[in-house]
Amino acid sequence: MKIDKIFIASDHAGFDLKAQICGLLKNEGFDVCDLGTHNKDSVDYPDFAELMAQNLRGNEYGVLICGTGIGISIAANRHAHVRCALCHDVTTAKLAREHNDANVLAMGARTIGDAVAADMIKAFFATEFAGGRHERRVKKLGGEK
């Protein structure tokens, strides 16, 4: 999978997990851009989903984190060019890429552990879109990645 850049953003609940994932992605050799938040002060997750959507183009991908991952994934999917998948384990992260051509992985800092998050990141960014029968379904979702 060709990846030009990975953007990552979180609200205050995801701040610590975001820092861990940034380090992991950089160690894997990815170009990572941290869009914030940059501390644990209370912020609104829709603002960071919006910031992600504004930056995401072409072969760029993203990671979004809030307390549960639910709110930030809903906010991100308001944008036609974003296919944000809220995942809870390696299987859902892998299938989000393989079957749905997701370009953003969302997760909940309060619902998964650090090791699971790391494994999800590795699976998501190592998995190619399968195309084939999935291609026509993804096209029905609309928007351009």
Surface-to-core class of residue 131, CB atoms within 10 Å of its CB (0-12 exposed, 13-18 middle, 19+ buried): exposed
Structure-token pair, residue 84:
């944000």
Cα distance between residue 93 and residue 96, in whole Å: 5
Query: What is the full DSSP assignment across 64-110?
Result: EEESSSHHHHHHHTTSTT--EEE-SSHHHHHHHHHHH--SEEEEETT
Q: Return the axis-axis angle of helices 114-126 and 90-100, rounded to nearest 10°.
A: 20
Active site residues: 99
Separation of CA 58 from chain center: 15
